[in-house]
Amino acid sequence: MAKLLLIRHGITKLHKNDRFWGQTDIPLSNIGIKQAGQLRTRLALEKITAVYTSTLSRASATADIIAAGHKANVVACDELRECNFGFVEGLTFKEIEYHYPALAQELASWKTVAFPGGETLGQLNNRVKSFMQKLENVKTRDTVAIVSHGGPLRLLICNLLGIDITHWQQLRVDRASLSVMEVYPQTAILLSLNDVSHLK
């Protein structure tokens, strides 16, 4: 059995207004840096053997803070980057409704979404599944931290549990949250989801 610590990055400098920030490289805010420190404290007793992170700075900075104090290499992975939102990058949902009404209807369910100039849900999921190949090298009793974004983390959980990815938006993964899974050769168990108790 291996343990996976699934961590979403902390709050960024552009987190307000609920805009679609995907692959725009936005740094952590001061609050986000504090949240990463709270995560580090929360995970201080974990024997983390490896840390995988998205290459976007809001995730990699979170990963570096968490990894401090652990003898674990931080491995940057493009596969863990947030969804490419294409032409709607930086827009609010209301702005998408105005400029791309058909896409807004797709976003009501998130089941067949395809962002113009960006990725489809299937393409994002293919990236996540490509990353999962790295987990095949994880040894029994290893504890691995994975620092990423809402989209990839939800899809990772779906894939590991064998849940259809059309349910990905039914999983809540807040900023600076911790979700924990146990992974076995033939199955996986979700121990906790969206734990933010360390932020209180």
Residues 26-61: tens digit of each pLDDT: 999 999 999 999 999 999 999 999 999 999 999 999
pLDDT value at 132 more than 80: yes
Average pLDDT score over residue span 168-195: 96
pLDDT given at position 152: 98
% of the chain residues with pLDDT over 90: 83
Q: Which residues make Cβ contacts (< 8 Å) with residue 41, sequence separation at least 6?
A: 198
Which H or E run includes 193?
strand 188-195
CA distances from 170 to 39, 77, 120, 150, 175 (A): 24, 25, 18, 12, 16
List the chain domain ranges. Answer: 2-199
Average pLDDT over residues 9-33: 91
User: Which is it for the CA torsion 82, 90, 169, 145, positive or negative?
Assistant: positive
Query: Position 11: which residue type?
Result: I
Evaluate if residue 154 carries a pLDDT over 70: yes
Percent of the chain scoring above 70 in pLDDT: 100
One-letter amino acid of 124 = L
Report the pLDDT value the prediction gives residue 17, as an integer from 0 to 100. Answer: 67
Structure token digits, residue 102: 């058909």
Residue with tokens 């293919």: 126
**Mean pLDDT score, 50-74:** 95
Q: Is the dihedral of CA 160, 190, 20, 66 positive or negative?
A: negative
The domain defined by 2-199 carries CATH number 3.30.43.10: no
pLDDT at 172: 97
Whether 71 shows a pLDDT value over 70: the answer reads: yes
How far is Cα 70 from Cα 64, in angstroms, rounded to an integer? 10
Question: What confidence score (pLDDT) does residue 138 get?
Answer: 87
Query: Is residue 90 within 8 Å of 24, Cβ to Cβ?
Result: yes
Residue 69 CA: distances (Å) to CA of 43, 47, 143 = 10, 10, 15
> What is the reported pLDDT for 113?
87
Average pLDDT over residues 57-72: 94
